[in-house]
Each structure stands twice: as C-alpha cells, then as structure tokens.
Structure 1
C-alpha cells in the first residue's frame, strides 16, 4: 500500500542516489548484491542483540533495494536475471530476520507463530509472483506489481516491530500474519478479476 501510494514522495532521493552510483561506475546488480549483504548483516546484528542498529541496517538494505531498480531503469539495463536476484534476495533477507529472532526466542509458541508467518508470506508471495508472471499488465517494475495491504514497506515496518519489541513477539507476529493473509486474499481476488 505504501509502496503503491507513497513511492512518488521518496523517489527523488532514490533517483539522486541511483544517479550518484551510476556516476561512480556501479551497476544495478552491484547494488542488488550490496543490498543483500547489508540485509544479511541486519540479521546478524539482530541475533547478537543489537535491535536498533539491526533495524537501521535493515532499512538501509531496503533503500538500496529500491535504488537498484531505479539504476536499472535509468541505465536501460533492466534484465530478467536482475529481477530474479532482487526478488530472491528480498526473501532471503526476510527469512534471515525470522531465523535470527527464532534463535533468540526458541519458545515453542514463538516458533509455531514464526512458522505460520513464513507460510503466510509464502502464500502471499506465491500469488504475487504468479500473477506477475501471467499478467500482461505493465508497471514501472519488470513485471506487474500487485498492490495490497502489505507491500515491501509494510513488511519492513512489521519486521521492525518484531525486532524492536521482542517482548511482544506473540502480538506483533499475529498482526503480521493477519496482514499477510489479508494481502494474499486481496491479491487472489484481483487475480481472479484480471486473469479470468
């Protein structure tokens, strides 16, 4: 939702950063790899009990993840391989945060909720990726980007809440699961409408 409706507000900063990187001779794929490395570092920081720094580094990773796409469009170097890397690395970074939190909180209830959260993310992402692959619609990305209650920014907000308020992991994980399921249902209904 925030990505769809709020992108224009932050795009000037993303574009300026993309231009700066391109002037330095970097490619979109360089920044994709950098965003991935930074995202994994966020998980390491969370695991070692540095939640505030971990969240800051996670958001830096997300910012770089937005910059790489702008770089690809500016340099007309968008590629299917870049899209595969981008989507795959995003999921690995998210999984890393969940693994770090699970290792810090191995209580059965928390682990069960994390499992359900992972399933809800898989459910939502499966619909998103399938519709993106099957739809003839175009977006500013390399495939149709389905809007929904939970997009990348909402995911980062919810992961941040999990990391920063670990005393309320049960509550925030349930909220996260609910948001993912609502998003999945939204996307499923839209898929029926546009693909039927």
Structure 2
C-alpha cells in the first residue's frame, strides 16, 4: 500500500549509491547475495534475543535489496535471473526473521509466528502466481516500474513488512500481538489479490473469447 509513495523518496539516494558501486565493478547479483547473507544473520541474533543487532542487519538487508535493483537499472543489466534470485531470497529472509522470533521465545511467540508464516504463504503465492499469469498475458506494470515482476497492489507490501519487522525488534515483548495484527493484514492482502487477480484474468479471457 505504501510502496508507491516510499519509492519516490528512496529511489534517488539508492541511484546515487548505485552509481558509486558501478565504479567498483560490483554487480547487482553480488549485492543481492551479500544482502541475503547479512539478512540471515538476523535468525541467530533474534534467537539469542539480540534485538538491536538483529534490527541493524534487517535494515541493512533491506537497504541492499533496494540497491541491487537500482544498480541493475543504472547499468542496464536487469535480468529475469537477477529478478528471480532477488525475490526468492527475499521470501527466505522474511521467513527467517519470523523463525528467529519463534526461537527467541517459543512459549510466547511460536503460535503467532506460525500464523504469520501461514499469512506469508498467502501473500507470496498470490504474488508469484499472478506474476506468472501477467507475463503470459503481457500485462504491464502501471504502478511498480521498479519491480522485477508485476504484482497486484495490497494492504501489506514491502514497506509495510519493513515497518512490521522494525516494530517486532523495538517491542519484542509484544511480538505475538504485533505478529497477529500483521498476519491479519497479510490475509486481507491475500484475499484482495486473489479476487483482483481472478477478476482481471477472467476479464482478459472474456475479451479474448469475444474477439
């Protein structure tokens, strides 16, 4: 929901940073992989309840997730392979963060973490399933020109997920409540994407049949 506005603010500094990386011959895929490795450090840090350090690596991971795309656009080296790697590793990172909170306090957090992972399955599957159909039907990306794949708008997108992770780390004692609230928002996103995606594809099929 907030991505279309946050992109306007973060893209200019990311582009300048990407220009500096070009001079050092750093590739987008290298940034993606390094960011993923750094992000995975959140799992053991969270399990050890080192929430401040975990927040640091989470934010660094998200920064590098933005830089790799800016670097690919700056060097005109955007590729399907790079986009696939970026998105696939993002989902693994998201799950690792939630798992970290479950390990930090299983008695208090495990059930809420499980619910959030269930909700992430919905947002992730609807995201990728529609991306496949969008490519098949040559559907353009009217709102998300900086994304590697087309996907339907939703209540919870990248910006909201980052804010949720920050809240989890700042108020870890309230993780269960915060995770349940965010899971409900993710489930709403899943429902709206499923409905919107189905209607969009049905409309395209009807037009094709009529013609």
**Partners of 1:149 and 1:183 within 8 A in 2:** yes
1:135-160 CA distances to partner (integer Å, 9 max, x unpaired)?
Answer: 12233223213221111121111122
The answer for the alignment partner of 1:169 in structure 2 is 175
- RMSD across aligned C-alpha pairs, in angstroms? 1.5
By how many angstroms is 1:53 displaced? 2.4
Q: Whole-Å Cα distance in 1 between the matches of residues 148 and 183 of structure 2? A: 28
The answer for the alignment partner of 1:119 in structure 2 is 118
Report the number of matched residues: 195
Residues 108-187 of structure 1: matches in 2 within 5 Å? 110-135=109-134, 136-139=138-141, 140=145, 141-187=147-193
SS in 2 for 1:65: helix
The answer for the alignment partner of 1:84 in structure 2 is 84
By how many angstroms is 1:39 displaced? 0.6
Instruction: Give unmatched runs, 5+ long, in structure 1.
Output: none
- TM-score using structure 1 length: 0.93
1:74-112 CA distances to partner (integer Å, 9 max, x unpaired)?
Answer: 2121122111211111111111111211111111x6322
By how many angstroms is 1:167 displaced? 1.3
Residues 1-196 of structure 1: matches in 2 within 5 Å? 1-107=1-107, 110-135=109-134, 136-139=138-141, 140=145, 141-196=147-202
**Partners of 1:45 and 1:54 within 8 A in 2:** yes
SS in 1 for 2:84: helix
- TM-score using structure 2 length: 0.86
By how many angstroms is 1:52 displaced? 1.8
Q: Whole-Å Cα distance in 1 between the matches of residues 185 and 59 of structure 2? A: 20
The answer for the alignment partner of 2:208 in structure 1 is none
Instruction: Give unmatched runs, 5+ long, in structure 2.
Output: 203-211
SS in 1 for 2:149: coil
Larger Rg: 2
